[in-house]
Amino acid sequence: MKRFFQPVEKDGSLKKKPTLTTSSSPSKSEEKEEQNGESVVITEEKREPLKFISWNANSFLLRVKNNWPEFTKFIAAFDPDVIAIQEVRMPAAGSKGGPKIQGEVKDDTNSSREEKQTLMRALSSPLFQNYQVWWSLADSKYAGTALIVKKCCQPKKVTFSLDQTASKKHEPDGRVILAEFESFRVLNTYVPNNGWKDEEHSFQRRRKWDKRVLEFVLRSSDKPLIWCGDLNVSHEELDVSHPDFFSSAKLNGYVPPNKEDCGQPGFTLNERKRFSTILSEGKLVDAYRSLHEEKDMDSGFSWSGNPIGRYRGKRMRIDYFLVSEPLKDRIVSCEMRGHGIELEGFFGSDHCPVTLELSQKTSIDSAES
């Protein structure tokens, strides 16, 4: 429980804290700042988010430990309103064998407490003091997502499932965070990898996921959607660096019975067809491709293989911002923030951040919505 005390002068009298505003309107966000040794309340008008980052961090804790200065420099320069993280890889709270609290980071052992403290210290730094964090975590150090939103852009509601009537509050493995704002929804997902075989945890799992996503976007058409994250699919041939390599890839020589399931996970024909269906029936626009029609071999991909080994120089665009058609004309920019086969701008992950910037909502947009 938080307790707030008024500062007491040496003579015992109460001293009222100075403020920059006296408004207590719920439409404004209040922040505290030190000025001349006193805590001053700063009020900022609430608004809808316009600048977004999506990033598969490939272990958020490792990025905090090893790549935090360069990543925070990037955050400070872009100044996002929303940061969507995938593959957090922090276990959910809850004792061994007991139910998990997927919205909280595990801290019931010495090692987990230290890891949580490391993470929270990073997110308590001055740069992130104006943000709020939501977690959706797996039972172990696997998958998981996070959504970090500026307090002046707070969503009306945050949920963690594709199913509005789901009995479980969170998707398995913490793969979904859905934030509803005044004029649109933001969906952050870490999509299951297709895998290499037609079995429960590979092809079948991905087919079920794609079916549920299509149902979700059709059911949620009452409000525009911004869908971001590691979607684990490269839609067209220009979205991979080496189409022939990826389309003929095999694991240990295994060839699936259906030829349209052959190839690198994320680049099989069946995955790409289902993705096309989601885009067309959901009336979604690929924000990056709407601005970049040609293949960019230097900075047109979000995932890159290890600089050493078979995947050296092999790259895929599997991280996206998809927006509902009514938002298309508001797209100012959408960029892959890493480049080159040496993973510059990837901040230690095998994925680089993707950014999206929208223009302000106009009066025409308001009338149409």
Which of 190, 288, 311, 320 is an active site residue? 190
Cα of 275 vs its chain's centroid, Å: 19
Contact of 135 with 104, CB cutoff 8 Å: yes
Residue 302: partners with Cβ closer than 8 Å, 6 or more residues away: 316, 317, 318, 319, 336, 338, 351, 352, 354
Contact of 321 with 226, CB cutoff 8 Å: yes
| Two structure tokens written together for 180 | 């509803």
Between the CA atoms of 228, 231, 233 and 234, what dihedral angle is there, to the nearest 10 degrees? Answer: 20
Give me the residue label for tokens 């480049």: 339
From the CB of residue 233, how many other CB atoms can be counted at a distance below 10 Å? 25
According to the annotation, is 201 in a ligand binding site?
no
* Whether 242 is catalytic: no
Which of 230, 261, 286, 319 is an active site residue? 230
Secondary structure E strands in the chain: 28-35, 38-45, 51-56, 82-86, 92-93, 101-105, 131-136, 145-150, 157-159, 176-180, 185-190, 225-230, 284-286, 303-304, 315-316, 319-324, 331-336, 354-358
The Cα–Cα gap between 205 and 199 comes to: 8
According to the annotation, is 350 in a ligand binding site?
yes
* Whether 320 is catalytic: no
The Cα–Cα gap between 183 and 362 comes to: 12
Give me the residue label for tokens 């479980």: 168
Q: Is residue 110 helix, strand or coil?
A: helix
Helix axes 269-281, 203-219, angle to 10 degrees: 10
* Whether 230 is catalytic: yes
Q: Where are the alpha helices (DSSP H) in the chain?
A: 60-78, 110-122, 203-219, 243-247, 269-281, 287-291, 363-368
Residue 189: partners with Cβ closer than 8 Å, 6 or more residues away: 86, 145, 175, 176, 213, 227, 228, 229, 230, 231
According to the annotation, is 139 in a ligand binding site?
no
According to the annotation, is 232 in a ligand binding site?
yes
Residue 213 burial by CB count (10 A; 0-12/13-18/19+): exposed, middle or buried? buried
* Catalytic site positions: 190, 230, 351
Residue ranges for the known binding site for Mg(2+) are: 56, 87, 230, 232, 350-351
Residue ranges for the known binding site are: 56, 87, 230, 232, 350-351
